[in-house]
């Protein structure tokens, strides 16, 4: 199996609650290598662009506002089967439906304030990584 890369965002709710280190530890304990990292505060244009597939949905404006409410930590994680393994590690979008021991089950406040974002496919991972990182920022 080939080594893959996936995008992770530690979302504003987790940043505000000082969970960055705890979440990073979970990634490393699960065998992920962090090959890119940056903290940034999303502009409206960045948040709208990143979530553009949801722009016609009722929750879009609230999602954009939430993602701009505090800094996020953007990460590129690497390992074999990274996309699938990361999705398993973070759990279902709705923390009440997430498996015990997943990041969202343990740290999310609700379905929107669910602490982390993860790419849902290898194609999405490539697109999302390129949204936040240039190749020279990855190691």
Q: Which residues are known to be catalytic?
A: 117
Residues making up the binding site: 11, 59, 87, 93, 104, 114
Q: What is the token pair recorded at 18?
A: 């000082």
- Give Cα separations from 82 to 39, 49, 59, 108 (angstroms): 21, 24, 29, 21
Backbone angles phi, psi at 55, to 5 degrees: -60, -25
Q: State the Cα torsion 102-107-108-109 to the nearest 10°.
A: 150
Residues making up the binding site for ATP: 11, 59, 87, 93, 104, 114
Strand 3-10 relative to strand 116-118, pairing? antiparallel
Tell me the CA end-to-end span of the chain in Å, nearest whole number.
20
Are the C-beta atoms of residues 105 and 95 closer than 8 Å to each other? yes
């Amino acid at each position: 199996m080939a080594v893959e890369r996936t995008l992770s965002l530690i979302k504003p709710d987790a940043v505000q609650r000082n969970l960055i280190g705890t979440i990073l530890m979970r990634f490393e304990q699960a065998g992920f290598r962090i090959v890119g990292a940056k903290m940034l505060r999303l502009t409206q244009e960045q948040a709208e662009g990143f979530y553009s597939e949801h722009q016609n949905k009722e929750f879009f404006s609230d999602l954009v506002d939430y993602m701009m409410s505090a800094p996020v930590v953007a990460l590129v994680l690497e390992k074999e089967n990274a996309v699938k393994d990361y999705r398993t590690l973070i759990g279902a979008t709705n923390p009440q439906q997430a498996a015990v021991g997943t990041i969202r089950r343990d740290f999310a406040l609700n379905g929107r304030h669910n602490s982390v974002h993860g790419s849902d496919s290898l194609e999405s991972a490539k697109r999302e990584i390129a949204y936040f990182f240039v190749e020279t920022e990855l190691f």
